[in-house]
Amino acid sequence: MIAYVAKRLLAAVPVLFGLTIIVFLIMAMIPGDPATAILGSYATPENVERLNRQLGLDRSLVEQYLVWITNLFHGDFGRSYALNRPVIDEVMERLSATLLLAGTALVLASVLGLLAGVVSAVRQYGWTDRIVTFLVLVGISMPAFWLGLLLILLFAVTWRLFPASGMVAIYGGGGPLDILRHLVLPAVTLAVVATGVIARLTRTAMLEVLRQDYIRTARAKGLRERRVIFRHAFVAALVAVVPVIGIQAGFVLGGAVYVETVFQWPGIGSMLVNAIATRDILLVQGGVLVVAAAYVLFNLAADVVQTLLDPRLR
Amino acid sequence: MSDPLVEVRDVTRRFGGGHTLFGNPRPQVHAVRGVSFDVMRGETLGIVGESGCGKSTIARMMVGLDVPTDGTLHVAGVGGGRLARTVQYVFQDSMAALNPRKRIGAILAVPLKRLAGLDRRQREERIGALLDAVSLDATFAERYPHELSGGQAQRVGIARALAAEPSLVVLDEPVSALDVSMQAQVINLLADLKRRFGLTYVFISHDLSVVEMVSDRVAVLYFGKVVEIGPAAAVFGRAQHPYTDLLLRSAPAPGRPLRVVDDASAELPDPYDPPEGCAFAPRCPRAANVCRSEDPRLVPRGGKADQLSACHFPLAAEL
Amino acid sequence: MANAGRSGAVSLLLNNRLAAAGVALLALIVAVALLAPVLPLADPNATAPADRLMRPFSPDHLLGTDALGRDILARLVWGTRVSLMVGISATAIAAMVGSAIGLVAGFVGGRIDGLLMRGIDMVMAFPYILLALAIVAVLGPGLLNALYAIAVVNVPFFARNVRGMALGLSRREFVDAARLSGQSGPEVLFAEVLPNVMPVIVVTMSTTVGWMILETAGLSFLGLGAQPPQADLGSMLGEGRKVLFNAPHVSVVPGLMIFVLVMSINLVGDGVRDVLDPRLKSGALARPSARTRVERADAPVATTPAAVLELKGLRTLFGLGGREVAAVRDVDLLIGEGECLGLVGESGSGKSVTAMSIMGLVPSPPGRIGGGAAFFRGRDLFALSDGEIRRMRGSAVAHVFQDPLSTLHPLFTIGDQLIEAIRAHRPLRRRTARQEAADLLALVRIPNPRLRLEAYPHELSGGMRQRVAIAMALANDADLVVADEPTTALDVTVQAEVLTLLNRLRQEKNAAVLFITHDFGVVSALCDRVAVMYAGEIVETGRTEAVLAAPAHPYTRRLVDCVPVLGEPERRLDAIEGRPPPPGALPKGCAFAPRCPSVAPVCREAPVAVRELAAGRTARCLFPLVGAGHV
């Protein structure tokens, strides 16, 4: 198993390289003089010259890439001229906030989604199923940025149950409980869509599994229905659902952009929006790369879990 | 009846193989391991064997849907894939062989246009004639595949194979998916068509009784090799290879008791790593040391020129 | 036909109430958006600082005004128009590019496939919206750039779905057949593959268009899409957010519009998917319950309580598209202690349904028991509670099914599955049960039983797996084993071994067997008595040798005669012309009459009853081929 994980980790390396190539190519699409465009209003002659040197802009695309990737390896993601600090410092500072938010949302979505999906499949066409199916539809049609605003209006403004924004209270905040209070609304907002997708897929997977021959075998053996559903069917359905949870990690990390903006959560998402507004391209690039790398690891974890569940994949 | 229409020489087919990006060899399945035989003009050659023996791979190579890794395969003197006019194929899963979104008439029109080069009016006439030849109503041309039964779909498959007026038809398990009553209809139809159009058949099946009924000569395959080949009556009547004998004893027949042991200790060898000696040796009651080290050659045995077997200790030779 | 199929699909879509509601809602929204220029709306861009932030239902401003005093209703309609346009355009671009990539990759395969799909994987390795952000960051904010970005990040969905389908199709027999018919590669791609891929493209479009509208709105919300004065729903929401606390309606209204629009599209999308997904169309995704529903008017009494199994007047019905048809009608069967009864018939004859009805293993829906009874040692199984049936399954009555790969659970070791079968009925310690499981494997002659307990089903050959299934059926010394074509999927030599094993074990354990098969050769090897089924009815029963030697029913006669027999190659096969009647359209009289060579007018008049020809020999025929004396 350890060998398998190592093998999968190794296989992730080319993917990570691919990510850098795509990001690099996108950056190469910048129209006009790149250094000036990247620097925007910070395009002082020194800065332009410094960036040109750093990016090797007078050389071929391949050489430029090699210079760039070597710098990345040394932890040099360039410099945010708007913030006047190295990109890597800013990104790493904000990464933990984003991971906390996205991780909480993903766990929430997985637990609720699996539960709703199983219940809905077992009670197919019953009232529970109809209600769940409708809620799922509402969930996946919900614009997260709007839901966030509604939740703020209701829970923060009208009922004053949770804070409207930020990660810690400005005065005397910072304890785990304080963070938790701030986490509730954004995490719920972020989890809604993923919950819907996971619930829907779990339902389909369960229905698909429940008509398999081996479920008939389990019943023919005289097993209790509870055991048939929760051991024989659920585990088999999970094999199909786990990779989707991995993919949902990507949607949750992406959705964090909206949710962090709405709730002013100090994560990479809100950083990215600000950076795009100020045309702080290198900061955008660094943020995108780091979050994408995190997503690759999420998917890797999903892969490993799936392999643990299914001996045929070993 | 004596000149060979098909000549198969030392044909080998391996799947997979090659190297990964990092130079590690990829595993290789040895599906067909050096097969030679002829099919005479006008005869029916039956090919029998169990799953994994390579019979379908041989069939696909004969019609050009696959190419041998090694060896040569000639039909009417032509080799290398471009055979569609002379060789046609009938699929096991007749329904899957019909495009669900096309009418039967449109399906039959394709070979008439592409291979026979007929114009629209000629095609329409021929479609009617083809359907008639396989005992289907002309109205079937307007139907979609899902409106057909398995037997009817197989008739359409046969009609399509006949459209280009081939000399050889390779039938890959043409009746295995059909119910017994449909089986008989199709077997009788095939015999009838063969007579009418002077066809040559290669008939592949796992069902010994069907093969015995339709074949002039029979080749028995085991694990990618021909273990025995000869006239049907000889192979089924005086089997030389112990595997042929096991097959014959295993086939259930009405009014016959079971004649095999229920032992499961022996199975097919690993196709990724074929054994050095005879592949059947682990299951063979007659196996000796030589069988495990030396692969027997396919040669005439027991004083018969037309019955060949690949066995160090053939059965009928002792008689 | 094609037209009928298409209008059929539309009516199917509208029959789905949710989808119909979605269609209506979407049609309304689209109509209003299209008619925006001619509708009596205020100028969406006319600012009026004096009228700023008016509440909804104000005079002249039904939905109020925004921070610049612009009419929200007018802006909403025009904004919806923009959002729809952008979403649909992005979908069209993504669908076209993605499908083209997917088609080529799936159809050509090999290196090109590898290259294209690695590229797609790379794009998918990014969290969806992040890649769009990066593209917008580079191209600069703007509605058109947002559209491109959203289209690009959606290309992989189309490429992957279409590629999967195209790959599957290009390995299908009909594509091979088209090649053999002389079609060139591009012709095969466009004439054979593409039409079959279309449903997937349509389904993917209908399920992603909502997403794309949502995501472009999101980009606009962040200020990266539509730039003032141009407005789409997202940018309206973004502007409204600035006055969230004192005028919530400015952001709530456009958000609600996005939500309603996306939801209506998703409703339609789900409907389209259900219609185009053949699995759902056939209702196959209905979840079968743990036990067949029993709804019978009559409950007969057992006449032979000593028998292990007695079926009386069994009638099993299936719901088929609103209609109910009887798959099994009026079936009587008797199995004595330790007896092996072969149930023979062609596919669709009802033999499996009969066997599965006994312990309630027919899936409900669509099946149900509609009449008759199954008695196990005199007890009416259909009258038992679910718990009682469950306790009998796997202990008193065990099952062996056809395909041993699909009938064993793929994720559990065979040891776990055997132990589970044992412990479901006997409160043994796990250790003891494990020992028993190993003994069972030894009983079915599997070499190295202890080692094999750790194996997963896919690690065993077909024959081995079926031995495991047999071991499982014997785990609790069943009195009756129901074997549904247990050797049909096996190779002939393996089949012979497994049959020999079954025969030895049933004699050792004195278990009665109901053996379902289509093969008289197999019956003859194993069964004491045989029952022949046709069109849901038993047409003949008797001792195996007697029935085979002198069939009484014309159907049995023809069935025996149309099968080639090893060692009799010269025999002319007597094919049965025609086909069995579909269960929904049975003839009034004898079901075999339309195909029977010795049919008389009286055969067609009324259903034919079973007649006893001799002790233990019955036939459902007015003119049986053997008299009572010839048994």
Model confidence over C221-249: pLDDT tens digits?
Answer: 999 998 888 889 999 999 988 888 888 89
Grade residue C580 by pLDDT with cuts at 50, 70 and 90.
confident
pLDDT at residue B317, rounded to an integer: 53
- Residue C64 within a domain: no
Give how far C153 is from chain A: nearest CA, Å.
12
Residues of B in contact with C548 (CB under 8 A): 254-255
Q: Which residue of A has its CA nearest to C219?
A: A258
Q: Which two tokens stand for residue C238?
A: 């973004």
DSSP state of B25: B
At residue A95, the 3 state secondary structure works out as helix
pLDDT at residue B20, rounded to an integer: 62
User: By residue range, what is the domain housing residue C595?
Assistant: 534-630
Average pLDDT over residues B204-209: 92
Q: Is it the case that residue C5 has pLDDT exceeding 70?
A: no
Average pLDDT over residues C574-591: 86
Which sequence spans correspond to the domains of chain B? 4-309
Judged by a CB distance cut-off of 8 A, whether residue B184 touches chain C is yes
Beta strands at B299-300 and B308-309: parallel, antiparallel or unpaired: antiparallel
- State which H helix or E strand residue B122 sits in: helix B120-133
Per the DSSP assignment, residues forming a β-bridge with C398 are C481
Residues of B in contact with C567 (CB under 8 A): 212, 236, 253
Residues C92 and C125 in one domain: yes
How many Cα neighbours within 13 Å face the side chain of B100? 13
> Which residues have a Cβ under 8 Å from the Cβ of A152 and sit 6 or more positions away?
A164, A165, A185, A262, A263, C244
Q: Is it the case that residue A22 has pLDDT exceeding 90?
A: no
At A97, which amino acid appears?
A: A
Residues C368 and C495 in one domain: no
Residues C175 and C191 in one domain: yes
Indicate the residue among C375, C393, C411 that finishes a domain: C393
Whole-Å CA distances, A185 to A47, A94, A141, C129, C363: 41, 19, 19, 21, 44
Query: If you compute the radius of gyration of chain B from its CA atoms, what whole number of angstroms results?
Result: 21
- Residue C218 within a domain: yes
A87-313 carries CATH number 1.10.3720.10 = yes
Give the Cα separation of A136 and A196 in Å (integer). Answer: 4
Q: Which two tokens stand for residue B243?
A: 């595997």
Q: Which two tokens stand for residue C157?
A: 């969905």
Residues of A in contact with C134 (CB under 8 A): 23, 26, 284-285, 288
Residues C505 and C401 in one domain: yes
From the number of C-beta atoms within 10 Å of its C-beta (0-12, 13-18, 19+), residue C568 rates as exposed
Give the Cα separation of C133 and C153 in Å (integer). Answer: 10
**CATH no. for residue C220?**
1.10.3720.10
CB contact under 8 A, C393 and A261: no
- CATH architecture, range B4-309: 3-Layer(aba) Sandwich (3.40)
Q: Is it the case that residue C628 has pLDDT exceeding 50?
A: no
Grade residue B19 by pLDDT with cuts at 50, 70 and 90.
low
Residues C236 and C192 in one domain: yes
Average pLDDT over residues C495-506: 90
pLDDT at residue B318, rounded to an integer: 52
Distance of CA A221 to the CA centre of its chain: 43
Q: Which residue of C has its CA nearest to B267?
A: C461
Which sequence spans correspond to the domains of chain A? 2-73, 87-313
Per the DSSP assignment, residues forming a β-bridge with C375 are C310, C380
Residues of C in contact with B264 (CB under 8 A): 444-447, 463-464, 467, 497
Give the Cα separation of B313 and B242 in Å (integer). Answer: 9
Number of Cβ atoms within 10 Å of the Cβ of C467:
28
Nearest to C122 among A19, A30, A31 (CB): A19
Q: Which two tokens stand for residue B112?
A: 């008439």
From the number of C-beta atoms within 10 Å of its C-beta (0-12, 13-18, 19+), residue A49 rates as exposed
pLDDT at residue C626, rounded to an integer: 76
- Residue C46 within a domain: no
Beta strands at C323-335 and C309-320: parallel, antiparallel or unpaired: antiparallel
Residue-wise pLDDT tens digits, A199-225? 999 999 998 899 899 999 999 999 999
- State which H helix or E strand residue B73 sits in: strand B70-75
**In contact, B97 and B156? CB cutoff 8 Å:** no
- Subunits with 3+ Cβ pairs within 8 Å of C are A, B
Give the Cα separation of C559 and A54 in Å (integer). Answer: 85
Tallying the residues shown for chain B, one arrives at 319
Q: Which residue of A has its CA nearest to C456?
A: A311
Instruction: Name which of A175-189, A295-309, B80-94, C396-410 the model is least confident about.
Output: B80-94
Nearest to C361 among A219, A273, A309 (CB): A219
**Closest to C513 measured CA to CA, from C618, C349, C425, C398:** C398
CB contact under 8 A, C575 and B185: yes
Mutate to test the interface with C, among B258, B267, B284 (most CBs of C within 10 A): B258
Residues C551 and C561 in one domain: yes
Q: What is the torsional sign of CA B55, B58, B62, B65? A: positive
Per the DSSP assignment, residues forming a β-bridge with C538 are C533
Q: Which two tokens stand for residue A18?
A: 């691919």
pLDDT at residue B22, rounded to an integer: 59
Residues C150 and C273 in one domain: yes
At residue C616, the 3 state secondary structure works out as coil
From the number of C-beta atoms within 10 Å of its C-beta (0-12, 13-18, 19+), residue A159 rates as exposed
Q: Which two tokens stand for residue C10?
A: 């539309």
Whole-Å CA distances, A63 to A17, B126, C518: 15, 65, 71
CB contact under 8 A, B252 and C521: yes
Residues of B in contact with C525 (CB under 8 A): 252, 256-258
Q: Is it the case that residue C348 has pLDDT exceeding 50?
A: yes
Give how far A177 is from chain C: nearest CA, Å.
26
Whole-Å CA distances, C229 to C257, C436, C532: 20, 79, 80
Window B:48-107, CB contacts with C under 8 Å: 50-51, 63-65, 84, 88-89, 91, 93, 96-103
- Residue C62 within a domain: no
CB contact under 8 A, B264 and C548: no
Indicate the residue among C393, C423, C444 that finishes a domain: C393
Instruction: Name which of A25-34, A115-124, C208-217 the model is least confident about.
Output: A25-34
- State which H helix or E strand residue B28 sits in: strand B28-40
Residue-wise pLDDT tens digits, C277-299? 655 554 555 677 889 999 988 78
Q: Mind giving me the DSSP string for C436-484?
A: HHHHHHHHTT-SSHHHHTT--GGGS-HHHHHHHHHHHHTTTT-SEEEEE
Judged by a CB distance cut-off of 8 A, whether residue B208 touches chain C is yes
Grade residue C627 by pLDDT with cuts at 50, 70 and 90.
low
- Residue C70 within a domain: no
Instruction: Name which of B119-123, B157-161, B264-268 the model is least confident about.
Output: B264-268
Q: Is it the case that residue B23 has pLDDT exceeding 70?
A: no
Tallying the residues shown for chain A, one arrives at 314
- Residue C337 within a domain: yes
Residues C371 and C331 in one domain: yes
Q: Is it the case that residue C192 has pLDDT exceeding 80?
A: yes
Cis peptide before C366 (omega within 30 of 0): yes
The pLDDT > 70 percentage for chain A reads 97
pLDDT at residue C8, rounded to an integer: 63
Residue-wise pLDDT tens digits, B75-131? 887 775 555 578 999 998 889 999 998 999 999 999 999 888 889 999 999 999 999
Segments in C233-371 forming alpha helices (H):
233-241, 249-276, 278-281, 351-358
Number of domains in chain C: 4
Give the Cα separation of C244 and C237 in Å (integer). Answer: 10
pLDDT at residue C3, rounded to an integer: 41
pLDDT at residue A265, rounded to an integer: 94
Residue-wise pLDDT tens digits, A44-63? 888 888 777 776 667 778 88
Give how far A298 is from chain C: nearest CA, Å.
11
pLDDT at residue C383, rounded to an integer: 92
Residues of C in contact with B270 (CB under 8 A): none
Per the DSSP assignment, residues forming a β-bridge with C617 are C614
Residues C275 and C402 in one domain: no
Query: If you compute the radius of gyration of chain C from its CA atoms, what whole number of angstroms results?
Result: 34
Window A:252-281, CB contacts with C under 8 Å: 253-255, 257-258, 261-262, 272-273, 275-277, 279, 281
Average pLDDT over residues C319-323: 77
ipTM of the complex: 0.90
> Which residues have a Cβ under 8 Å from the Cβ of C476 and sit 6 or more positions away?
C394, C395, C398, C421, C422, C425, C426
Give the Cα separation of A45 and A51 in Å (integer). Answer: 10
**Closest to C63 measured CA to CA, from C41, C32, C87:** C41
Q: Which residue of C has its CA nearest to B149?
A: C579
Q: Which residue of A has its CA nearest to C364?
A: A211
